[in-house]
């Protein structure tokens, strides 16, 4: 998708620190981390948000969670714990309109999910 920053990262037109990649997804460090570890897991297919996922695209979500578990184990924060967040649409504050899953870890996260 033209003018989509995450499509540009997927296509390597914009640099990022990639922590995992396969044929379906890419995961890279968030440029403005909200925790010591802040990784974005992004499907390579441009889907705007979770609400737009078609039934036949739902398998990508299962795959993304497999990748999240793999990253958590490989990077050594699986046992300590982590948080996964997906924003969807205006009220959530979604800024990048390409579906993505935030992994937050590396410290005891606050009890508030909603600020
Ligand atoms: P959202 O609010 O849409 O759920 O989160 C978008 C996230 O993407 C933000 O945490 C923001 O810091 C991150 N982000 C935006 N542009 C870039 C970029 O060009 N590179 C990287 N690595 N992260 C980005
Ligand atoms: Zn995109």
For residue range 51-80, list pLDDT tens digits in order: 999 999 999 999 999 999 999 999 999 999
Give the whole-angstrom CA distance, residue 60 versus residue 90.
Answer: 23
Query: What is the reported pLDDT for 36?
Result: 97
What is the phi/psi pair of residue 52, to 5°? Answer: -90, 0
pLDDT tens-digit map of 5-40: 999 999 999 999 999 999 999 999 999 999 999 999
CA of 11 to the centre of ligand 1 (A): 16
pTM here is 0.97
Residue nearest to atom 20 of ligand 1 (CA): 31
Q: Which residues are catalytic?
A: 100
Domain 5-105 has CATH 3.30.428.10: yes
Residue 115 has pLDDT above 80, yes or no: no
Give the whole-angstrom CA distance, residue 80 versus residue 89.
Answer: 30
Q: Tell me if 6 sits within 8 A of 100, measured CB to CB.
A: yes
User: Is the CB of 95 inside a 6 Å radius of any atom of ligand 1?
Assistant: yes
CA of 100 to the centre of ligand 1 (A): 9
* Nearest ligand to residue 8 Cα: 2
Query: What is the reported pLDDT for 113?
Result: 84
Residue 114 has pLDDT above 90, yes or no: no
């Amino acid at each position: 998708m033209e003018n989509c920053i995450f499509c540009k990262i997927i296509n390597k037109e914009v640099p990022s620190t990639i922590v995992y990649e396969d044929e379906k997804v890419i995961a890279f460090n968030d440029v403005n981390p909200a925790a010591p570890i802040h990784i974005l897991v992004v499907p390579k297919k441009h889907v705007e948000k979770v609400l737009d996922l078609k039934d036949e695209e739902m398998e990508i979500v299962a795959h993304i969670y497999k990748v999240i578990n793999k990253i958590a184990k490989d990077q050594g924060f699986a046992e300590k714990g982590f948080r996964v967040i997906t924003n969807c649409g205006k009220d959530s504050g979604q800024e990048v309109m390409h579906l993505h899953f935030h992994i937050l870890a590396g410290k005891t996260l606050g009890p508030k999910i909603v600020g």
